[in-house]
Structure 1
Amino acid sequence: MSRGKDYRYMIETIHRIDQDVALLRLKMLTLSDYAGMGKYLDEEKEILNSLKTLSQICRNVYIDLIKLETEDREDFLNGNGE
């Protein structure tokens, strides 16, 4: 993948994750209205696990973005800029 495609892919991934997180937050708010009712505990655990997974994905995407930016800076400083 070219760098432009890499950046675009990562930004699209971040947008999708943001949408997923917004939906999970809405579900959690809805479930919090029923807090204390045992039948929703499994759903709450599932949502929390999904949030952990999304958080890890976000971290990895941001780390990849930082790596790309660092490589771009190094290329530019070495005279290989576009």
Structure 2
Amino acid sequence: MHTAIIIFFGLILLALMLYIGERIGFSRQTMAYGFAALWLALTVINGAVGVVHAGQSVGSEIAIGSAVFGVPVAAMVLFMVLSAES
């Protein structure tokens, strides 16, 4: 359940960054790169907390972290590709 919640928050963060960045005047590409860097850092921190405090193994945190990082980034790539065509 924790993984689904974190992925959901990643998607919300993506939407907010793209929306607010567009309103401020940043390009979508700049905001997408910023999101990818921020989300990678947050995913690594989440994994480190899982290993240190929750007692999870490093291998399981890498596997789950890949999904936690990958789903919002895949949504970002899909959005960028679809918005470039229109």
TM over 0.5: no
**Alignment TM-score, normalising by the size of structure 2:** 0.39
Q: Which has the larger radius of gyration?
A: 1
Give the TM-score taking structure 1 as reference length: 0.41
